[in-house]
Amino acid sequence: MKISDGLFYCVQALLMNHEFGIFDKIRPFFYRLFFKKIGKGTRICAKVQFKYPSDISIGSCSYIGRSSILVGLKGLLVGDYALIGAGSKICTTSHIIEDPDKPFCLQGIRAKEIIIGNNVWLGFDSKILLGVRISDNCIIAANSVLLEDSNFAKNSIIAGIPAVLKRKTDAK
């Protein structure tokens, strides 16, 4: 873990629980010091938790809903105008489970970059796992689970557990 990430966790602890709407705009101002990028106009609601912020890039005018968790080890890129619904989980990491004779907790973790395009809407309580790619103008239905290394094309509506393409949108 980078020293800057450790310092960020202290700042996050001070700011994350304030419910007043003004803090949705204040958090990005302070968090910008620790992230790879946070674009202008981005709002971060109360109780949002970030891990490995130095590997996270969030575009302009994006919105991260209450009680979401974003893990950025090895890279998490969120485009402009992204809407991340409350309670969503975006995680670039998973446990290694290669040795059946060794406890899972002792095998370490692996990580893969996640890319979320511009104008993407993640519905309430969505889960995005490592290696996922979501192109521009996609909608992810509430409570969907996008499994490791899934790849979704532009203008898609995606839903389910596991998530699958339901139909294309008319977006340009």
Give the 3-state secondary structure of residue 152: strand
Position 172 pLDDT exceeds 70: no
Question: 3-state DSSP: the chain helix, strand, coil percent, rounded to 5?
Answer: 15, 30, 50
Q: Please, what are the domains in the chain? A: 3-167 (2.160.10.10)
User: Rounded mean pLDDT of 131-152?
Assistant: 97
DSSP secondary structure of 32-96: TTTSSEE-TT-EE-TT-EEESGGGEEE-TT-EE-TT-EEE-TT-EEE-TT-EE-TT-EEESEEE-
- What is the sign of the dihedral through the CA atoms of 148, 32, 140 and 126? positive
Whole-angstrom CA distances from 53 to 48, 112, 135 are 12, 15, 22
Position 1 pLDDT exceeds 70: no
At residue 134, the pLDDT reads 98
- pLDDT above 90 coverage of the chain, percent: 92
Backbone angles phi, psi at 4, to 5 degrees: -65, -35
Whole-angstrom CA distances from 95 to 81, 103, 126, 134, 147 are 31, 11, 20, 23, 14
At residue 3, the pLDDT reads 82
Give the 3-state secondary structure of residue 7: helix
Position 136 pLDDT exceeds 70: yes
User: Rounded mean pLDDT of 49-76?
Assistant: 97
* pLDDT single digits (tens) 93-133: 999 999 999 999 999 999 999 999 999 999 999 999 999 99
**pTM exceeds 0.85 for this model:** yes
